[in-house]
Structure 1
Amino acid sequence: MINQVYRLVSPRQFEISYKDHSINEPDCIVVRPTHLSICAADQRYYTGTRGKEALSKKLPMALIHEGIGEVVFDPEGELSPGTRVVMVPNTPVETDDVIAENYLRSSKFRSSGFDGFMQDYVFLRRDRFVVLPGHINSYVAAFTELVSVAMHAISRFERKSHARREAFGVWGDGNLGFITSLLLKRKYKGCKVYVFGKTPFKLDNFSFADATYNINEIPDDMAFDHAFECVGSVGSQYAVNQIIDYIKPEGSIALLGVSEYPIEVNTRMVLEKGITLIGSSRSGHADFKATVDFLSENPDVVEYLETLIGSVNEVKTIGDMISTFEKDLTTPWGKTILKWEI
């Protein structure tokens, strides 16, 4: 079977390439992407801000690692054509009894040196998808991967932090901060969730939080048991150090924001307070399964996540791809969804 792959070959330039793939491999299913979602990492490649060295190593490459699709063919006959699935971008090539699949250095990740979901068809191993219940909104399901990242971070927090979980601080008023705050509020019944950001209209969307604060107007008596940093970039330095100032002794800080450069951390107070820093990156199949189950069991969470749908864009041509990525750059809030009809 000849498959068309839409690869970024240089900043802001896509080209079609063709790959031959067998459809009769018993360990794979064939999926037609239907709804995709743009991530900030995709934009760094698209705009060329990822860095010349990284671009030279990874391009040409199909972008996007967030998406769902419909089963076209299952050589084993276990899945009917039309079955909706969430596609898992992390692709391990080995297993480890201690290290999770998303931390193994040998694992491949779609749209990061390995073709993403901007293809006519995606060939998925049987451990690289989760069947999606029919009642979950497709536009929300398109960014299941981002929700699974927050779910994974919370699962790591649960294993590594102390048991007092009465109040949480979340730094970051963007998509990841919204999702993380929402999951914390639903998973820990009766807890307080305080959100800290710098953009008033974004903070207005956190209606489920117990309180929201501008990072320049935090009350002196603010305190919480644990915190999640969802800022990233250079701003993560200021976020982490603010958290260190307000967190209670022996609390934990889950780090989710990605920074391209090293940041300075007030390690003196980390030591004095006995703070635990927990790094978290990407997610694996188990996190996707937990996420889909959680969304299925909590329809109100899906309704809140619908507020993150920034725009829905039909993509039928390469020109549509470019215009959608350009539109995403100017979208101030939420996720840009591609209705994949090419």
Structure 2
Amino acid sequence: MKDHADREGPADHKEHQGREDREGHAAGRATAWGAAAWASGVGILLVAMPQAARGRLPDRLATHWGVGGAPDGSLPLGAAASLPALAWVLLVSAVALAARRGAGVQGWAGATLLSVGVGLIGAQAVIVRANLDRSDWHQARSATLWFGVLIAGIVAAALLGVLLDRRVTASAPPVPVIPGDPAPEIPEGERFVWLSRATNPWFQLLAAAGGLVAVAGALAGAAGLIGAPWPLIAPFAFVSVVMSACSSVQARATEKGLEVGFGPLGWPTRRWAAGDIESARVERRTPAQVGGWGYRLSGLGTTVMLRRGDCLVIRARGKDFAVSVDDAARAAALLNSSRART
């Protein structure tokens, strides 16, 4: 089967191209801000952890352990704090330079920055913990078990970076539309795909701040700087996860129905089959009308409100669901046409 082709005039093409450019710029800004926050947070933690425990550490820190688990290498406290941070700055600079030159770094940049960042701050936490309350670096605790846990964390971070990169760089197939026709006819046996995203930068900022505090608490606990870290980790981790899930949304309409995915990974996902959608329309809604930002329940039904303005609204199973995304009119027309064909 083939995708139904667009039929657009020059003005329609310019409008469509302008919308794609705006979406691309918005996604690029969100990615850049996320990378900047991660780069800054990792650099700060690498320097701050040894400095925060300076009074409980020896002048030289054990930084390498032999096969038997005994320390066999050390660095001065200042070097142990500054060298990992310097290596991190060089790596981030190299990735940023390659991205600016268009060297095709999108396929590996996210996985590299996440995994190396986790590795560096995790290793710093392990080193601080092993040397804590020791008068000489030769007396440092064994770190074999903790480094094993760290390796697992690095692998998990690399996989997460790959998944995030695929979500960000995935491109949508052509969207079929006949300008001026509210319900374009879709020939039998042909397919269509419509895709639109929306993000809320303030939710992303709250998610990043909560995640940074949770990570700092986990590292402080792993390094032995504080007691039980869970009272600090749990609430901020919860805020980070919830804000991350509410910070972005992706809507996808096909001949099979509508899918709406939440968060950077597009999960959780809500789905409606084409036969369950009674109608689709566009409405202008504001946060005041639906009770605020995010995932809202009100007299208007369920609304995913990330920005004020046009929303795609479907009536399915006797209830209304709305999501604030660009190009909602096109999605409504396609869903109505698909329903009529079904």
TM-score interval w.r.t. the shorter chain?
under 0.3
Greater RCO (Cα-Cα under 8 Å, separation 6 or more): 1
Greater strand share, structure number: 1
Larger Rg: 2
Structure with the higher helix share, 1 or 2? 2
Q: Give the structure-2-normalised TM-score.
A: 0.21
Q: TM-score, normalised on structure 1?
A: 0.21
